[in-house]
Structure formats: C-alpha cells, structure tokens
Amino acid sequence: MTQQQARHVPVLFDEVMDFLRVRPDGAYVDCTLGLAGHAEGIVRQLGPAGRLIGFDRDPEALELARARLARVLEEMGNQAPQVNFVGEAFSSIASHVNPASVDGLLADFGVSSLQFDEARRGFSFQADAPIDMRMDTRSGPTAQQVVNEMSERELANLIYEYGEERRSRTVARAIVRGRPVTSTGQLARLVASAVPPMKYGQTPPATRKTFQALRIYTNQELEEIRALFEAAPKLLKPSGRLVVISFHSLEDRIAKDSIREGTQQGIWKVLTRKPVTAGDPEMDLNPRSRSAKLRAAERQ
Ligand SMILES: C[S@@+](CC[C@H](N)C(=O)[O-])C[C@H]1O[C@@H](n2cnc3c(N)ncnc32)[C@H](O)[C@@H]1O
C-alpha cells in the first residue's frame, strides 16, 4: 500500500473494532462517518437485526459514505442491517437517537483526508485556495471571514487558545497588517513572515497551529465534542461502549477529563487507562495516525 492509499485507511481500525465489540443485533452510532471506513467495518459485523446510524455534517462526505455503504449493503443481501444517515452535527445526536438504545458509539474527530486533500475546502496550508474550512459547507462563516473580520486581539486569543501558539500576538499582528487575506497560501506566508521557520524552506509550527486554531473555531469543534460527551451517557445502554479518537491535545483533554469525571460519578468504566496509539507499521504507512489517541469507556 502506498502512503497516498494509506491516507484513506481508517485510523486504529482493529482497535476500534475490538473496543466496540459489535454484536450482530446491536445498535451503533458512527458520529463521524467521513469516508465510512470504520462504518463499513461495523456494518459488516452486523446482521439483519442490527442497525447503524451515521452522522456527518459535511454533505459531500455524507454522500460518499452513503454510496460506499450502499455497495456493502447490496453485497450483504438479506443479511444486511438497517443503516440511517443524518447530515447534521453530532451535537444534535439526542434529537435523532432514543435514550438508552445504543450498544456502541464511535467518534473519530477532526477533518477527513478527503476534506484536507481537497484544496478548495481551504483546510491545507500546502495548497492555495480561499480559506473556507467549514465542514458543513451549507452554513456559518468561513475561516476567511474570521481572519478578515476579527479584531487583532480576538485573533491573537483564538490562535493562543485553539492553536496553543505562544507567539499568537505576533502572528495576529502580521495577519491584520496583511489584510485582506484571500487565500490559504497568503495566510501561510503571513504567518511564516512573522515567525520564520528554524530552517529555510520548512513550514514553521506556527503555520500549522494557526490553521488548526481557525479550523477549530470555524467548526466549533470543542463545543461539539463537549456536547457529545454530555449526551453519550444518556444514549448508551448499560454496558454500551463509547470509543473516541482525537488528534490533538485540546480534543484529547476533553475526552480524558469527561471520562474521568464520569467515572467518579459512576457513569463510565474506563477501558483505556492510557490512550491507545498506533503501532509503528500503521504510523509508517499513515502519517495521520501518528497523532491519534483512542480512548474507550463502558456505560455502567
Ligand atoms: C476523521 S473523519 C472520519 C473518518 C472515518 N472514521 C472513516 O473511517 O473514514 C471525520 C469526519 O467527521 C465529520 N465531522 C467532524 N466533526 C463533526 C461534527 N461535529 N458533526 C458531524 N460530523 C462531523 C467530518 O466532516 C469528517 O467527515
């Protein structure tokens, strides 16, 4: 498998399947369908009495996932489970899923390789395109509006908080002086001019951090994750399992703290004392897996 192909392979696939422990007649929710790699794994273990509900707020991702799973269901014939799709943010999960009805809930946070690799979506600092960064392309301000409309102080706070960038004021000043900012390439150059890389030709860490900050803010990603942890205990059956994969410390901190607090309140039994990470072979093949951290818990 080439690295390009590996980018489309779901992260920590075997580990997700082990923790979810899919029962053929169970009900499962994939909160982040993406390219439906994990979802296909779940569907293939379900029988005709089983059910998967899949969420994605990105209409393009949802259509691709729908097409992929339709092929799998057709192949499974009369042994196929029921699959339902919800094209909304997973913070709305409690409006679509009945209380205490779910055996397993999966969330693989962040952007998909589809979103990241597609220059026009505006997530990547390696491409040159309008700075969109919305997962749900139907609504809400783009990151470009944020970059051009926020005050310098607000921008600095955002880059500090969501990018964990110490020199956020310097970065924000350079961005504001460079306005109007109309492309990902221009934004990357402005950040690099303010905090140059250690070596000529490298991308400075501040660029990645600034892009991460804008993406998190534009998609309200941390609020979404908090809402999911709030809803999950009510939706899972006793012994139902929650499996989450995070890709940076802000996401993982919410997961870790929510599970710890829930454990103290008798809601969760922790299944992963330390987060599960990818092994060397997976990291070699799939660079995205290098920062992945899986945490799992069982509803008491
Ligand atoms: C990392 S990808 C998931 C990949 C997937 N597990 C697979 O096997 O292909 C994350 C997906 O979740 C979606 N997503 C992220 N946050 C979301 C949210 N709050 N609500 C609904 N979908 C979300 C993104 O649009 C993206 O398609």
Structure confidence at residue 92 (pLDDT): 98
Task: Check if the beta carbon of residue 29 is closer than 8 Å to that of residue 235.
Answer: yes
pLDDT digits (tens, 9 = 90+) for 15-65: 999 999 999 999 999 999 999 999 999 999 999 999 999 999 999 999 999
Burial of 270 by CB count in 10 Å (0-12 exposed, 13-18 middle, 19+ buried)? middle
Report the 10 Å Cβ neighbour count for 99. Answer: 12
Question: Which ligand 1 atom sits closest to the C-alpha of 89?
Answer: 20
Average pLDDT over residues 111-139: 95
What's the CA-to-centroid distance between 290 and ligand 1, angstroms?
A: 18
Structure tokens at 95: 């409006």
Amino acid identity of residue 7, one-letter, is R
What's the CA-to-centroid distance between 36 and ligand 1, angstroms?
A: 9
Question: Which ligand 1 atom sits closest to the C-alpha of 106?
Answer: 6
The residue assigned the tokens 């901190």 is: 253
CA distances from 205 to 38, 162, 171, 211 (A): 30, 14, 12, 10
Report the 10 Å Cβ neighbour count for 67. Answer: 10
Question: Best mutation site among 135, 216, 243, 244 for ligand 1, i.e. most ligand atoms within 8 A of its Cβ?
Answer: 135
CA–CA gap between residue 251 and residue 222 (Å, rounded):
7
Decide whether any atom of ligand 1 lies within 6 Å of the 32 Cβ: yes
Structure confidence at residue 163 (pLDDT): 98
pLDDT digits (tens, 9 = 90+) for 164-206: 999 999 999 999 999 999 999 999 999 999 998 888 888 999 9
Decide whether any atom of ligand 1 lies within 6 Å of the 110 Cβ: yes
Question: Which ligand 1 atom sits closest to the C-alpha of 33?
Answer: 5
Amino acid identity of residue 107, one-letter, is A
Decide whether any atom of ligand 1 lies within 6 Å of the 135 Cβ: yes
Of all helices (H) and strands (E), which one includes residue 179? Answer: none
Task: Check if the beta carbon of residue 162 is closer than 8 Å to that of residue 151.
Answer: no
Structure confidence at residue 288 (pLDDT): 87
Decide whether any atom of ligand 1 lies within 6 Å of the 89 Cβ: yes
β-bridge pairing 51-55 and 82-86 = parallel
Decide whether any atom of ligand 1 lies within 6 Å of the 35 Cβ: yes
Question: Best mutation site among 19, 33, 254 for ligand 1, i.e. most ligand atoms within 8 A of its Cβ?
Answer: 33
CA–CA gap between residue 69 and residue 260 (Å, rounded):
35
Residue 40 makes CB contacts below 8 A (sequence gap 6+) with 68, 69, 72
Instruction: Specify the DSSP class assigned to residue 118.
Output: -
Question: Which ligand 1 atom sits closest to the C-alpha of 65?
Answer: 9
Please check the confidence at residue 7 and state whether its pLDDT lies above 80: no
Q: How confident is the model at residue 5 (pLDDT cuts 50, 70, 90)?
A: very low
Task: Check if the beta carbon of residue 133 is closer than 8 Å to that of residue 218.
Answer: yes
Quick check: pTM over 0.95?
yes
